[in-house]
Structure 1
Amino acid sequence: MRVSKEQAAKNRERILEAASRLLRERGISGMGVDALADAAGMTHGSLYSQFGSKERLVEEAVAHAIVAKGREVPEEFALGDYVSEYLSTGHRDQPGSGCPFAALSCEISRQSGGVRDRFTAGVRGMIRLLSSRITSALKPRQREEEALAMAASLVGALVLARAVNDPKLSDDILRATRNRFGN
């Protein structure tokens, strides 16, 4: 039985939603095709008919996660509010719906060029977003430098806060970085 184009598009979106969540929760190497098929309510065959390979699926799921997370950022926002939300305990504790950069950074360097291209484009977007909110008293190159340092610090702080097994240290990492950039 053939699937309509509309149903195929819905299936593709359902797969990408499930894959982007699982990637952020389990990592690229931890996301098996079986778990993904279960999470999306699909068969292995439907996954491969949509994407052709796990590599292509990962590439599109990474891009999907980046775009979806970017849509959550309001058009107008204060930089301090962005930093506070990014470095919150809620964000730390919910990687499946959180920042794909913090969830996947440690694995991306071992991925295909296509996955890395999508990830790199997303990082550039985050830097542009942060740069656009940094005080206009700085020259454009200075704003970009500050945005680069801020992006690296935010992502790094979230990665460390998730990695340590000491709740106080985890909270301290978030707080100290929030205090550094939230002002």
Structure 2
Amino acid sequence: MKVTKAQAQANRTHVVETASRLFRERGFDGVGVADLMAAAGFTHGGFYKHFGSKADLMAESTACGITQTLALTEGVEVSEFVRHYLSREHRDGRSTGCTMAALGGDAARQPESVRGAFADGVESLLAALSHQQSSPSDAVDAAQARARILDALTHAVGALVVSRACPDDSPLADEVLAVSRDAILASLQPRLAARPSSRRRNTG
């Protein structure tokens, strides 16, 4: 039976979603094309009807996984996103969690197309999280706001990586999440200006 274009696209999407989940769970090098296609319910030979190479699939699956993380930013404050991101639930859900934390180390050794997908994903998350903040009044404020969000995001990703590197039942795994979560949330709070009190001391 001939496969329709719509079905072929649906099959391709299913392969990408399956790959996204398996790569996050096992790493890029931990999943072969044959195993991946079998997990998706297709034959090995069908892979090259959809993708030119495994690297092509890795790039697409990266984008797919980051899109799932982006969905967590919709309609929530940055602080709420951080609390979920650095929760034990997210830590333990490796195959459905953040692609950057699960595969960032692997991506550094992959082709440019894969690293480009990660860079695009970081920019998308920065834009989404920055949108939840109040609008900056000028270019300097915008640069500072971007820097704060980038610092929070990379801190959170690193904390998740370190926590996952610890044994599952290790108190240190939870401590890493808690300490980093508190530090990030504190860094996102509006900073109180100290100048008014200084002026009061200098008057009279």
Task: Report whether the alignment pairs 1:179 with 2:178.
Answer: no
Aligned 1:125-140 pairs, distance under 5 A: 125-134=124-133, 139-140=141-142
1:150 corresponding residue in structure 2: 152
Give distance in 2, aligned partners of 1:59 and 1:137: 33
2:171 corresponding residue in structure 1: 168
Query: TM (normalized to structure 1)?
Result: 0.92
Q: Does the residue aligned with 1:15 lie in a helix, a strand or coil?
A: helix
Give distance in 2, aligned partners of 1:87 and 1:46: 38
Query: Aligned-pair distance for 1:43?
Result: 0.7
Query: Aligned-pair distance for 1:134?
Result: 3.9
Q: Which has the higher contact order (CA 8 A, sep 6+)?
A: 1
2:196 corresponding residue in structure 1: none
Given that 2:136 and 2:142 are in contact with CA atoms closer than 8 Å, whether structure 1 keeps it comes out as no
1:130-164 deviation per Cα after TM superposition (whole angstroms, max 9, x unaligned): 33334557811111111111111000000000001
1:87-143 deviation per Cα after TM superposition (whole angstroms, max 9, x unaligned): 010100011100001011101111111111111000111122233334557811111
Task: Report whether the alignment pairs 1:105 with 2:108.
Answer: no
Aligned 1:119-130 pairs, distance under 5 A: 119-130=118-129
Kindly provide the amino acid, as one letter, of the partner of residue 59 in structure 2: E
2:114 corresponding residue in structure 1: 115
Give distance in 2, aligned partners of 1:91 and 1:68: 13
Given that 1:128 and 1:147 are in contact with CA atoms closer than 8 Å, whether structure 2 keeps it comes out as no
Given that 1:102 and 1:155 are in contact with CA atoms closer than 8 Å, whether structure 2 keeps it comes out as yes
1:88 corresponding residue in structure 2: 87
The CA RMSD over aligned residues, in Å, is 1.7
Q: Does the residue aligned with 1:29 lie in a helix, a strand or coil?
A: helix
1:4 corresponding residue in structure 2: 4
Give distance in 2, aligned partners of 1:180 and 1:170: 16
Give distance in 2, aligned partners of 1:134 and 1:32: 42
Give distance in 2, aligned partners of 1:123 and 1:178: 19
1:19 corresponding residue in structure 2: 19
Q: Does the residue aligned with 2:30 lie in a helix, a strand or coil?
A: coil
Identify unmatched segments of 5+ residues in structure 1. Answer: none
Identify unmatched segments of 5+ residues in structure 2. Answer: 187-204
Kindly provide the amino acid, as one letter, of the partner of residue 151 in structure 2: A
2:190 corresponding residue in structure 1: none
